Amino acid sequence: MKPLSYFKESLRRRNARRYTQEYPAIINSFDLKDEGKVDFANWDNPLISPLLITQEMIDFFKKFIKKGDLVIDIGANIGDTTVLMALAAGSSGITLGFEPNPFVYKILEKNASLNKEKQNIVTLPYAITVKEEEFYYISSEASFANGGISPTKNSIHGKFIFPDKIKGINLQVLLEQEYEDKLKDLSFIKIDTEGYDKEIIKSISGLIYKYKPTIVAESFKYSTPEEKVELYNVINQHEYEIFYFEDFNINARIIKLETSNDIINWEKTINIYAVPIDSNRQYK
């Protein structure tokens, strides 16, 4: 017989799928070999597994990010990669976390308020788009555990629609207006936007050409083979090497994607990272 706790948790998950409600942040602490004590705000949404931070996760980002860098997390969610990036960049760096989901944005803000002596996170409640415009935020879960932006209320993302519209902004315009003096330190951009990654990369092609940051993107499982190939090509055209990696962990398995056809070997959603061919930093 299954324990009572199983049925209680099952009921919580069912309610989270069906009924819109707020879930609070729960602060967990981790003692790490190099960083010392790190606090992280997990989200008490039963549909979301809590993140357990390890030194190996932060060391993955330290391959690409040094103290004082400008780094950007597009689709930051609650901050599960934002915090790791920010710890790599340190308090002297700037980590911009963009998240349009109003429910998870509150948890992201909480994470930005923690570990102030070790990180510097600036949160922004925007989607990154080609031009400035407004969207609906839509989820398949009533608690908005997932989702994406849509110009209309009809969307592949689901049927639960946030009542207020979400603002989309052009990243390159924002950076050149607000962070012009820091752009020389731009080293890393992570994108996770439910299949919209390639359009964001197109919209910041000028930044990529000039500053050559490492790019982490997601090859979305619901994208067509042609869309996945296009994602590869819009990065590769800037003279980048592209790699599949199994997880955000320094010890994760890495496979170089030699051609655009290699990216369609996975039917599931996968992460890729791309580094400039002429870089003298060691990434592999």
Rounded CA separation 192/186 (Å) = 18
- Among residues of the chain, what percentage have pLDDT more than 70? 97
Query: 81-126 pLDDT, tens per residue?
Result: 999 999 999 999 999 999 999 999 999 999 999 999 999 999 999 9
The answer, yes or no, to whether residue 168 has pLDDT greater than 50, is yes
Tokens for 204?
Answer: 């910041």
| 79 domain-assigned | yes
Q: What is the pLDDT of residue 194?
A: 80
| 145 domain-assigned | no
| 208 domain-assigned | yes
Residue 13's closest CA among 45, 41, 43?
Answer: 45
| Element containing residue 117 per DSSP (H, E) | none
Determine the length of the chain: 284
| 164 domain-assigned | no
The total of structural domains in the chain comes to: 1
| 69 domain-assigned | yes
| 36 domain-assigned | no
Q: What is the pLDDT of residue 279?
A: 61
Segment 206-229 shows an average pLDDT of 94
Q: What is the pLDDT of residue 148?
A: 87
Rounded CA separation 80/101 (Å) = 14
Query: 169-210 pLDDT, tens per residue?
Result: 999 999 999 999 999 999 999 999 888 899 999 999 999 999
Q: How far is CA 38 from the centre of its chain?
A: 20
Rounded CA separation 131/138 (Å) = 20
| 256 domain-assigned | yes
Per DSSP bridges, beta strands 133-139 and 148-150 are: antiparallel
The answer, yes or no, to whether residue 19 has pLDDT greater than 60, is yes
Beta bridge partners of 253: none
Domain hosting 233: range is 52-127+172-276
Q: What is the pLDDT of residue 5?
A: 76
The answer, yes or no, to whether residue 167 has pLDDT greater than 70, is yes
The answer to whether the CB of 115 falls within 8 A of the CB of 39 is yes
Q: What is the pLDDT of residue 282?
A: 46
CATH classification of the domain holding 244: 3.40.50.150
| 38 domain-assigned | no
